[in-house]
Amino acid sequence: MGRGCTTFLVVALMTFNVMFLLIGAAILCFAIYCYVDSLIQSAVSRSGHADKMQNLLYALIGLGLLTIVVAVFGCCGAYHESRCLLGTYSICLTIMFGVEIATGALCLVFKVETEKRIIQALENIIMQFRNEPADEDFNKSDSYRDWIQKSLHCCGINGVDDYPGSNVPSSCCIPKHQTCPDKSASYSIGCRQVINDLVEEKFLTAISLIMSVPLSKKSIPIII
pLDDT digits (tens, 9 = 90+) for 71-105: 888 888 777 777 787 778 888 878 877 777 776 67
Q: What span, in angstroms and rounded, lies between the C-alpha atoms of 169 and 201? A: 27
pLDDT digits (tens, 9 = 90+) for 101-139: 776 676 667 666 766 766 676 666 655 554 444 444 444
Highest mean pLDDT (candidates 5-14, 58-67, 172-181):
58-67
DSSP 167: B
The single-letter code of the amino acid at 201 is E
Report which of 137, 179, 143, 140 is spatially closest to residue 160, judged by C-alpha positions.
Answer: 179
Confidence of residue 200 (pLDDT cuts 50, 70, 90): low
The per-residue pLDDT for 221 is 45
- Supply the pTM of this predicted model: 0.55
What is the second-level CATH architecture of the domain 110-132+139-204?
Answer: Orthogonal Bundle (1.10)
The per-residue pLDDT for 68 is 87
Confidence of residue 212 (pLDDT cuts 50, 70, 90): low
pLDDT over 50 at 223, yes or no: no
Report which of 80, 115, 100, 57 is spatially closest to residue 218, judged by C-alpha positions.
Answer: 100
The per-residue pLDDT for 16 is 81
The per-residue pLDDT for 127 is 59
Q: 3-state DSSP call for residue 182?
A: strand
Report which of 69, 68, 40 is spatially closest to residue 54, judged by C-alpha positions.
Answer: 40
pLDDT over 60 at 56, yes or no: yes
What integer is the mean pLDDT of 4-33?
81
What integer is the mean pLDDT of 154-167?
79
Mean of pLDDT over the chain: 72
User: What are the boundaries of each domain within the chain?
Assistant: 1-81, 110-132+139-204
